[in-house]
Amino acid sequence: MYKTILSKIKMSRTNAEDVLKGLTLKVYKFVLRNGKPTGIREVQRSLKLSSPTLATYHLNKLEEAGLLRKNMEGYEVNRVFLQNLIRIRRMLIPKYFFFCVFFIAALIVQLLILRPAILTREYIFAVGVTCTAAFSYLYETIRTLLKKTI
């Protein structure tokens, strides 16, 4: 029984990954950010789709994947599927952003508060490591924001 539940979870995860591409991904992000039941016309107008039929197609596709559910008010998120993003209210923030902020703050503390009177190679090495970590997480944050997947 445990194996069947685990296989269903894996199957639904790959199904969600297959569905969340292109315009369907944009529709899912819009409904996710909206935070309330969303109608077909609202999706069409906001995403500038050519017809309500196109919006319906993508909403139904997301509903079949189990990511959205339909109720009397419209479509709402049934399951949040975010790999590299964290949802805070209506914003989607890359998870690397928090590491980036931490390492930039650590770099500022090292340069302004913990600076020794005489620069040693250990201090320079520590600043270099912190700087490398900050910039690598900044790069990952920007890459996640520009990527067209979740």
* Tens-digit pLDDT profile for residues 27-83: 988 998 888 899 999 999 999 999 999 999 999 999 988 889 998 989 988 877 777
CB 142 within 8 A of CB 111: no
Assess whether 71 and 7 both reside in one domain: yes
Integer Cα distance of 96 and 85 in angstroms: 8
Prediction pTM value: 0.62
The DSSP annotation for 83-147 comes to: SSEEEETTEEEETHHHHHHHHHHHHHHHHHTS--SS--HHHHHHHHHHHHHHHHHHHHHHHHHHS
- Residue 146 scores a pLDDT above 70: yes
CATH number at residue 6: 1.10.10.10
For residue 14, name the pLDDT band (cuts at 50, 70, 90): low
List, for residues 74-100, the tens digit of each pLDDT value.
998 887 777 778 878 778 888 899 999
| Listed residues 24, 50, 77: the one ending a domain | 77
Assess whether 67 and 89 both reside in one domain: no
Assess whether 58 and 112 both reside in one domain: no
| Listed residues 57, 77, 97: the one ending a domain | 77
Assess whether 35 and 10 both reside in one domain: yes
Structural domain of residue 28, as residue ranges?
2-77
Assess whether 73 and 95 both reside in one domain: no
Within 10 angstroms of residue 43's Cβ, the number of other Cβ atoms is 23
